Structure 1
Amino acid sequence: MSEYIKVDLFKLAASKLNLKKENIKTTVELLDAGNTVPFIARYRKEMTGSLDEEEIRNIEEKIDYLRRLNERKNDVAAAADKQDKLDEEILNKLKKADTLQEVEDLYRPFKVKKQTKAAKAIEKGLKPLADLIFNQEKNAAEIKALAQEQLDPEKELKNIEDVLSGAEDIIAGEISDDAELRKKLRDFVFKTAKITSEQKNEDEEGKYQDYYEFKESINKIPPHRILALNRGENEDILRVKVEVDDDRAVEMIYNLYEFDNRKSGTFEHLVNGVDYAYKRLIFPSLEREVRNHLTEKAEEKAVNNFSTNLKSLLMQPPLEDQRVLAVDPAFRTGCKLAALAEDGQLLDTGAIYPHPPVNKQGEAAEMVAKLVKKHEIDIIVIGNGTASRETETFIAELIKSGMDVEYTIVSEAGASVYSASKLARKEFPDLDVSIRGAISIGRRIQDPLAELVKIDPKSLGVGMYQHDISQKRLEKALNEVVIDAVNHVGVEINTASAALLTYVAGISSNNAEKIIEHRSQNGEFKERKELLDVYGFGPKTYEQAAGFIRLNSKEDPFAITPIHPESYRAAEKILENINYIAADIRDKEKLNQVREKLNNIDLVKIATDLEIGLPTAKDIVASLKQPGRDPRDSMPAPIFRKDILKIEDIKSGMIFKGKVRNIVDFGAFVDIGLKQDGLLHISEMSQMYVSDPFEIVEIGQNIEVKVLDVDQKRGRISLTLKF
């Protein structure tokens, strides 16, 4: 197909993203060559100008859109050319169009129309008459006489009204197809429209009572209200509409075409055509655009919130060298117990029934004490589901009676999803579903990242309205968050599960299974390059994955760092420069000496001498200074308790140390040790105005909050940071 419009996509993307054209071009070439985002961000900094993962994905998304936009422009140009209607004016309009919607507006006149009223009227030969009315060139009598000449019962033109109605349909169709008019009306609607809702059907739970008589500017309405309106509409409880000043919109049409009610006696036909064009053809499509736009923005915000929360959750620090007794609480079916070693290996299981209707508290206390002593348990971890606080009370009483442990409560969101999954059945084929759930609860505090990657991110309970947004979009965004988190931390290949390995750059689920299989048959990996011995692991996969794989190995000293094998020689040269060797970074005493000397080297000279980029030289040196560093170590640790709080004990003005559990548009939910998390409303986060809660807090953060208000009846606690 002929290319009518040629565009420098990289230059255009650079102007849209405010990035350098050459960096965008190189990044796209790397992506097109099959390189992964984490690999490009970490190991191709010289080529991209040190773009991070988010910037690279923005480039990928923008280039994809611009490619589709340019392809569609050429499709439209070809359609116009086929009809011998392509001219410089249309080409220029296509070149200037910034969005697919604008291109579709320009395509409307060339679109093959089959069943529209206007198309049928044109087939009946009424176009010349419609043009005369549109141009206001004839008076009423002349138009009537011309209409009389068009009478033809075979064409369903039995009277003058049929003829004039057909001409009005043609006028309406031409007005509706006018791209310039649509752009003006679109701008007007998007600047002035309001979204309204009213009750349509019975709302038994009263969930949508705030929206029974609702109206708000589309430019001011917050994202979570849009999603609430959409849900109410989908549940057939609300009737949602877009409202504009119709009179002003219609006046804009008259002004654009310079229709004059004093100019001829045919103005009434123009009124009918304009009215039909606006009310039946133009506004409904603009209303859909507005709703789609609002939903798109709301989904974008919801997905961003979800992603930010998930990242914070995944990046919580592991609990090292601690033995855990995990408790999955329940009433009737009993609390399931799982004792876990420091590395998460299952040591023991059990079940206790301290709550109604069984009430065997004595036996339960005896079993917990026995497991704690037998396995030298350091921490008891309680899931936050049904019977959580009752179980917490039970455990707190045991600690008071002399059991030397602490406890903490963790979110068990997704534990039941994991416990019933194929992965859980494969890991623990002989265990009951509820015991698997307890294991998941315990492991997610020992190594949150390694455990939580086994669960669908949508099931982890961070975010809002997850079922009201595009599942494909949400899944893609959350998957990217997990990928970035896993590769940022790195994966110990000799202990990692297949679920964790699957998120390493370049490694497929099949590759991950083959790694596990190779490990079980040949023993532990001793060098990164042994990955090439894994069936199906080619040079490209190795290139992408190697830098994110970790090994604590004498044979491959750099494998404990993010230094890529392709940079091993450069790393060795840097160490030789200060009279050390690779093995020295594994020796704690020598490592301190290495750090001192590395602090004084000339990075620019090193990069020049070794013919590597300065960003790579900086990364190598940083890795040599802190081999084995876990970036999660800088995150806040869990809060451990020995006693329980009750809502009856809480008074306004009290100050507590709490952990942020979830963040939404209107604030954050904070665990201060009660059955229900307290709400830290966005208005209580700072003395200054806060537009986004994420500016102030993040999931997993430990914060001091003051109790603002206590509603014991509803079990609600309002918190503030303003003290």
Structure 2
Amino acid sequence: MHSSTAQKIITQIAEEIRVRPAQVESAVALLDGGATVPFIARYRKEATDGLDDTQLRELEARLSYLRELEERRAAILKSIEEQGKLTPELAAAISAAPTKQELEDLYLPYKPKRRTKGQIAREAGIEPLADKLWADPTLDPQTEAQAFVLKDKTEAGDDFTTVAAVLDGVRDILSERWAEDAALVQNLRAWLWAEGLFQSKLAAGKDENNPDIAKFRDYFDYDEPIGRVPSHRALAVFRGRQLEFLDAKLALPVPAEPATAADSKTAAHQPSLAEGRIALHLGWRHQGRAADDLLRKCVAWAWRVKLSLSIERDLFTRLREEAEKVAIKVFADNLRDLLLAAPAGPRVVMGLDPGIRTGVKVAVVDATGKLVDTATVYPHEPRRDWDGSLFTLGKLVEKHGVNLIAIGNGTASRETDKLAADLIKMAAKAERAIEKVVVSEAGASVYSASEYASKEMPDVDVSLRGAASIARRLQDPLAELVKIDPKSIGVGQYQHDVNQSELARTLDAVVEDCVNAVGVDLNTASAPLLARVSGLSNTVAQAVVRWRESNGAFRNRQELLKVTGLGAKTFEQSAGFLRIRGGDNPLDITGVHPETYPVVEQIIEKTGRPVAELMGRAEMLKTLKPELFANEKFGVITVKDILGELEKPGRDPRPDFKVARFNDGVEDLKDLREGMVLEGTVSNVAQFGAFVDLGVHQDGLVHVSQLSNKFVNDAREVVKTGDIVKVKVLEVDLARQRISLTMKLDAAVARPAGRDGAPRENRFEGAGRGQVQQARRRDEPTGQSAMAAAFAKLKR
């Protein structure tokens, strides 16, 4: 790419992420040189002046987009130039186009395309007539068209042998010309994004009582300003349309007036708002002149035939892309929370994979995560062997010293949770303390049937592998979940409806950032975990494991260079994120990069203490001035990071593991009372609220309006999955098995809300009067509470 173009991209990115061009230039050079985002964020702060991983991810995405934009810009300029139609003004407009869409708008008139009706009319020599009538509407179209009537059909078989056909040609030429006017198209697009309505209805002939179709009931008669449609509603409508349950369209803010009797006589119609805006842009209005009826027809044709569908398609694409961005971000944020959840650490864990007829699969893993025992118990239908199940589980607890139980959250999870509660009571009588936690089992079946699982547990039944995975998720969520495709972990909404390549790219980046933020034990990490380390591919990760199996544990980081396929560049990118416990060099347990070990040697020389005595001595390390150890290669920022690592060697950035303390005597939904204050664990977070496990076999919902005394737009601003929270019970619906909660502990009982779960007094803010009335009409028959609406939304 030309240097001036590259500089233009760097300048634009710097403005967008609000940093200096020099920072962007350094980051781009490092990325182009093969450096990863985690490596640059952690070990090249000097070069980028401290750009963090979030800024670098945004920079990386924009760099890719803008480079593609410049390549397309060059191709378009070349194409138009080869046609001999590139004017200085057009070249300037193309060079200034900021987005791919605006670039394509400008290219549209010059883009090679199939033969259109407008082109056919031009080939028949009708364009001078169109120009003449447009320039002077006082001319009579019927009279002027006589001179352009052909005696016979053209060689291509096109028929312009009548005045009506010639005037249709005028219509086609003018409407096509206007539909390719980039300024007009952008004007209409911007107006309709601001004021147009996203509208959906039940598709004709569909039975609204069909259970599959009934899920979309909220969208059987729905409209909302397209520019303000929330992500989940947009994706719901698009899914309903794809399934052919819903019809969706872009509606004008005010529909056109119905035609009058007079209109029908003149074959005219009442112009719509869109047609009025086209006429305004063109600087034309109907003044009763001889050609004005024809020109009105041309304007109407430009909108109804040429522009309405293409603009609807463009805005639907924009709405979908923006909705997908939000959905992907929610998925990414929830995945990050899950991966960085507090690890239980080296504890003996029993994993329970609930099932009814097939039984509850049981796996016990020791403190290192090794599978040591399995069983299957049948406490539920049809055997209902509750006591026998407790006896089997009790023996396993006693035999292996189990002190933590992980329960999968699938079918029969609540019943199995009760079984675990009885086991804990039984163990307490024997003075053995056991804790239980409900764990997401999403993706466990995918892992169980994977090639890696069969290598890891070759002689274990597939169903029991899932129980082992559930147990390990509690010990170290990050190490276990990296074995599963992020899309199978199940913490997203509408994940199958979004752009799959963009979803995969985003989720892979999240996993990479999380793994490298925590660091990886080189001597215990699995190949899937190692493959997520900066610079290590799947092939190299497997080579590391093979070397370890052949030669024993790594004694120091330098031994990595003995691994086949792991060269100096890969070592540079990965070494700082790999940890060695009990190795030759105490620094190998820290995040200090081997390239900066000479700096540590200067610190040792200055203090007169060996590195082992320096590590963890925060009071002494804080007295050292970073400036004394900085040099041309490693500046003050790097030295500060080194001192920070020495203060807390091998620290884990994840929070400490905690288990919610459930109230005694509160074990079932019927035990709950309005006004109770309880402790629980956040089990899932959506934009509209958070679900909390209270230990009563049914999660409660804290609606977004009940998370805080201040306004909250997105529940993740306040809570994340795994948080321990205190909540008050607002409402218990035994019939529907629903619990409404609040984190505003001084809150009164919640009042009923509208169908989308928002309080009635706030939910119509910013809506037009007609929309308010329509929304209220939709709400009134239902009587749903905020809790019910949000539960229904989650199910969708």
TM-score (normalised: structure 1): 0.95
Contact 2:662-2:679 within 8 A present in 1 as well: no
Measure, in 2, the Cα distance between the counterparts of 1:641 and 1:369.
Answer: 22
Matched, 1:607 2:615: no
Measure, in 2, the Cα distance between the counterparts of 1:558 and 1:25.
Answer: 32
Aligned amino acid, residue 638 of structure 1: V
Measure, in 2, the Cα distance between the counterparts of 1:676 and 1:285.
Answer: 47
Q: For residues 221-280 of structure 1, what are the alpha-carbon distances to aligned partners after superposition, in whole Å with 9 as ceiling and x for unaligned?
A: 211111111111111111111112462221222222222433741122212221111111
Which deviates the most, 480-489 or 88-97? 88-97
2:246 is matched with: 238
Measure, in 1, the Cα distance between the counterparts of 2:489 and 2:132.
Answer: 65
SS in 2 for 1:645: coil
1:100 is matched with: 100
Matched, 1:80 2:80: yes
1:197 is matched with: 200
Q: For residues 316-368 of structure 1, what are the alpha-carbon distances to aligned partners after superposition, in whole Å with 9 as ceiling and x for unaligned?
A: 12212321122222222222221211111111111222222113333322221
Mark the CA change 1:500 to 1:6 in structure 2 (over 3 Å): closer, same or farther: closer
Task: Map residues 541-580 of structure 1 onto 2, 5 A cutoff.
Answer: 541-580=570-609
1:588 is matched with: none
SS in 2 for 1:519: helix
1:69 is matched with: 69
1:637 is matched with: 658
Mark the CA change 1:147 to 1:255 in structure 2 (over 3 Å): closer, same or farther: farther
Mark the CA change 1:333 to 1:640 in structure 2 (over 3 Å): closer, same or farther: farther
Quote how far apart the aligned CAs of 1:636 are.
Answer: 5.1
Contact 1:663-1:693 within 8 A present in 2 as well: yes
Task: Map residues 443-458 of structure 1 onto 2, 5 A cutoff.
Answer: 443-458=472-487
Task: Map residues 70-469 of structure 1 onto 2, 5 A cutoff.
Answer: 70-136=70-136, 139-140=139-140, 143-154=143-154, 155-200=158-203, 201-203=206-208, 204-205=210-211, 206-244=214-252, 245=254, 247-262=272-287, 264-401=289-426, 402-403=429-430, 404=432, 405-469=434-498
Mark the CA change 1:490 to 1:570 in structure 2 (over 3 Å): closer, same or farther: same
1:598 is matched with: 621
Contact 2:357-2:382 within 8 A present in 1 as well: yes
- How many residue pairs end up in the alignment? 715
SS in 1 for 2:227: coil
Unpaired segments of 5 or more residues in structure 2? 257-271, 746-796
Aligned amino acid, residue 240 of structure 1: A
SS in 2 for 1:668: strand
Measure, in 2, the Cα distance between the counterparts of 1:281 and 1:638.
Answer: 62
SS in 2 for 1:661: strand
Contact 2:146-2:163 within 8 A present in 1 as well: no
Aligned amino acid, residue 605 of structure 1: L
Measure, in 1, the Cα distance between the counterparts of 2:291 and 2:381.
Answer: 84
The Cα RMSD (Å) is 2.1
1:649 to 658, 662, 671: 671
Mark the CA change 1:563 to 1:63 in structure 2 (over 3 Å): closer, same or farther: same
Aligned amino acid, residue 281 of structure 1: K
Measure, in 1, the Cα distance between the counterparts of 2:658 and 2:196.
Answer: 48
Mark the CA change 1:371 to 1:148 in structure 2 (over 3 Å): closer, same or farther: closer
1:692 is matched with: 714
Aligned amino acid, residue 509 of structure 2: E
Q: For residues 632-655 of structure 1, what are the alpha-carbon distances to aligned partners after superposition, in whole Å with 9 as ceiling and x for unaligned?
A: 1x3552336697710010111111
2:266 is matched with: none
SS in 1 for 2:438: strand
Aligned amino acid, residue 386 of structure 1: T
Measure, in 1, the Cα distance between the counterparts of 2:482 and 2:348.
Answer: 21
2:508 is matched with: 479
Measure, in 1, the Cα distance between the counterparts of 2:424 and 2:9.
Answer: 66
Measure, in 2, the Cα distance between the counterparts of 1:125 and 1:354.
Answer: 86
Task: Map residues 655-674 of structure 1 onto 2, 5 A cutoff.
Answer: 655-674=677-696
Quote how far apart the aligned CAs of 1:564 are.
Answer: 0.6
Quote how far apart the aligned CAs of 1:164 are.
Answer: 1.0
Contact 1:302-1:464 within 8 A present in 2 as well: yes
Which deviates the most, 170-179 or 250-259? 250-259
Quote how far apart the aligned CAs of 1:143 are.
Answer: 4.5
SS in 2 for 1:355: coil
Higher RCO (C-alpha under 8 Å, 6+ residues apart)? 1
Contact 1:346-1:439 within 8 A present in 2 as well: yes
Aligned amino acid, residue 345 of structure 1: K
Task: Map residues 44-63 of structure 1 onto 2, 5 A cutoff.
Answer: 44-63=44-63
Contact 2:335-2:510 within 8 A present in 1 as well: yes
Which deviates the most, 257-266 or 702-711? 257-266
Mark the CA change 1:635 to 1:88 in structure 2 (over 3 Å): closer, same or farther: farther
Aligned amino acid, residue 202 of structure 1: D
Q: For residues 442-482 of structure 1, what are the alpha-carbon distances to aligned partners after superposition, in whole Å with 9 as ceiling and x for unaligned?
A: 11101111111111222222121112211221111111111
Measure, in 2, the Cα distance between the counterparts of 1:502 and 1:5.
Answer: 35
Which deviates the most, 229-238 or 571-580? 571-580
Contact 2:580-2:588 within 8 A present in 1 as well: yes
Quote how far apart the aligned CAs of 1:421 are.
Answer: 1.2
Matched, 1:628 2:650: yes
Contact 1:316-1:637 within 8 A present in 2 as well: no
Measure, in 2, the Cα distance between the counterparts of 1:4 and 1:156.
Answer: 52
Unpaired segments of 5 or more residues in structure 1? 586-590
Which deviates the most, 247-256 or 518-527? 247-256
Measure, in 2, the Cα distance between the counterparts of 1:58 and 1:3.
Answer: 22
Measure, in 1, the Cα distance between the counterparts of 2:374 and 2:6.
Answer: 67
SS in 2 for 1:468: coil
Contact 2:193-2:226 within 8 A present in 1 as well: yes
Measure, in 2, the Cα distance between the counterparts of 1:6 and 1:325.
Answer: 56
Quote how far apart the aligned CAs of 1:496 are.
Answer: 0.4
Measure, in 1, the Cα distance between the counterparts of 2:4 and 2:376.
Answer: 73
Quote how far apart the aligned CAs of 1:10 are.
Answer: 1.0
SS in 2 for 1:515: helix
1:516 is matched with: 545
SS in 1 for 2:228: coil
Matched, 1:539 2:568: yes
SS in 2 for 1:79: helix
Quote how far apart the aligned CAs of 1:138 are.
Answer: 5.8
Measure, in 1, the Cα distance between the counterparts of 2:5 and 2:510.
Answer: 37
Mark the CA change 1:128 to 1:647 in structure 2 (over 3 Å): closer, same or farther: same
Contact 1:133-1:269 within 8 A present in 2 as well: no
Which deviates the most, 144-153 or 110-119? 144-153
SS in 2 for 1:311: helix
Aligned amino acid, residue 68 of structure 1: E
Mark the CA change 1:47 to 1:655 in structure 2 (over 3 Å): closer, same or farther: same
TM-score (normalised: structure 2): 0.87
Matched, 1:41 2:41: yes
Quote how far apart the aligned CAs of 1:165 are.
Answer: 0.6
SS in 2 for 1:708: strand
Contact 2:145-2:166 within 8 A present in 1 as well: no
Mark the CA change 1:137 to 1:712 in structure 2 (over 3 Å): closer, same or farther: closer
Contact 2:554-2:583 within 8 A present in 1 as well: no
Measure, in 2, the Cα distance between the counterparts of 1:622 and 1:385.
Answer: 43
Measure, in 2, the Cα distance between the counterparts of 1:452 and 1:149.
Answer: 74
Q: For residues 672-702 of structure 1, what are the alpha-carbon distances to aligned partners after superposition, in whole Å with 9 as ceiling and x for unaligned?
A: 1122211111111112221111111111111
